[in-house]
Structure 1
Amino acid sequence: MGIVTPEIGLIFWMLVIFGILIVLLRSFAWKPILTALHEREDSIESALRMADQAKLEMQQLKAGNEKLLADARLERDRILKEASDVANQLIEQAKNKANEEGGRMIMQAREAIQNEKNAALAEVKNTAAQLSIDIAERILRRELTDQPAQQQLVDSYLKEVKLN
């Protein structure tokens, strides 16, 4: 029965040993354990404060990034509008230049056509004059081969020409 019911001496020595253990633990182990717990608690609080600061900084950075992104979008839109305006101006200038060049080419073509027309008319006149001269020469040869016809022609010319 000694195992189930403890004796008074056993209880006494257990209490003494437990007391000594408490005193030893209090003097040697609890201070370092409590110090470590306080350090751990301080480090956790510090980490939480740093996390809050980091969260605030992240919010500020996010707001700054959003502002930068909005500014970049505005700048992009402005640059695109300027590029579109410049492109439209270039297109308009190219159209105007093409119209001027087309008008100049049309005028040159008209002048060339007029020059060709004048040259063709001059050639026709020259050809007509040459034909007239050839015809007149043939007529005169035929008429001048006959002596009375020659005399008659000279007389008719003299009648036409009146001297003043």
Structure 2
Amino acid sequence: MEQLLENFSLDLFVKQTVLFLILIFLMVKFAWKPILKALNDREDGIKDALDAAEKARHEMENLQADNEKLLKEAREERDAMMKEARELKAKMISDAKEEAKGEADKMIANAKAAIESEKKAAVADIKNQVASLSVEIAEKVVKEELSNKDKQLKLVESMLGDAKLN
């Protein structure tokens, strides 16, 4: 420290002080305002970015709430559509069963009618055959009776035997 005091020059100190003050004046005049303006602009930019981020966060919360609401509505609509589809399916199955039952009943009735018709036709055919056979037997009996009585009995017995076989 002593050495500093010994080498101290007042002239140099004054010159350096004047130069320092000129430098401060020039800095204040030309650099201080742009630096402050840049700092203020940066501060405003940061505030704007924070405000935009907060606004975006609120919008995201609103969108998320809207999405949840839409998802809930979509699920309710899906459930309603599924219920309606199940009811429609059950109705279609029920209608198909009723229609099939009606068709089956109609087919059974038609089959019964056809069987009855065939039965009547068969009975009528048998009656016709019996009548025809009876007429033939009677014709043969009458022919034979006129010729011989023993032959007539044998013929009647043989005809009766043939009738039982058919």
Q: Offset of 1:71 from its aligned partner? A: 0.5
Amino acid at match of 1:65: N
Of residues 132, 135, 138, the one that matches 1:136 is 138
Cα RMSD between the aligned structures?
1.9
Match of 1:153 in 2: none
Of residues 99, 107, 110, the one that matches 1:108 is 110
For 1:125 and 1:6, the matched residues in 2 are separated by 164
Q: Offset of 1:8 from its aligned partner? A: 4.4
**Equivalent residue pairs, number:** 144
TM-score (norm 1): 0.81
Pair 1:78-2:87 in alignment: no
For 1:66 and 1:98, the matched residues in 2 are separated by 47
For 2:37 and 2:30, the matched residues in 1 are separated by 12
More helix by share: 2
For 2:99 and 2:11, the matched residues in 1 are separated by 122
TM-score (norm 2): 0.80
Q: Offset of 1:6 from its aligned partner? A: 7.0
For 1:125 and 1:60, the matched residues in 2 are separated by 96
For 2:123 and 2:55, the matched residues in 1 are separated by 99
Of residues 19, 22, 25, the one that matches 1:23 is 25
Structure 2: where are the runs of 5+ without partners? 149-166
Q: Offset of 1:33 from its aligned partner? A: 1.0
Residue deviations 1:129-159 (CA, integer Å, cap 9, x gap) = 111111111101111346xxxxxxxxxxxxx
Match of 2:160 in 1: none
Pair 1:41-2:43 in alignment: yes
For 1:81 and 1:115, the matched residues in 2 are separated by 50
Amino acid at match of 1:141: K
For 1:30 and 1:144, the matched residues in 2 are separated by 165
Greater alpha carbon shift after TM alignment, 116-125 vs 5-14: 5-14
Higher relative contact order (CA 8 A, sep 6+): 2
Q: Offset of 1:15 from its aligned partner? A: 2.6
Greater alpha carbon shift after TM alignment, 137-146 vs 118-127: 137-146
Q: Offset of 1:121 from its aligned partner? A: 1.1
Structure 1: where are the runs of 5+ without partners? 147-164
Greater alpha carbon shift after TM alignment, 41-50 vs 5-14: 5-14
Residue deviations 1:84-135 (CA, integer Å, cap 9, x gap) = 1011101100000001111110111111111111111111111111111111
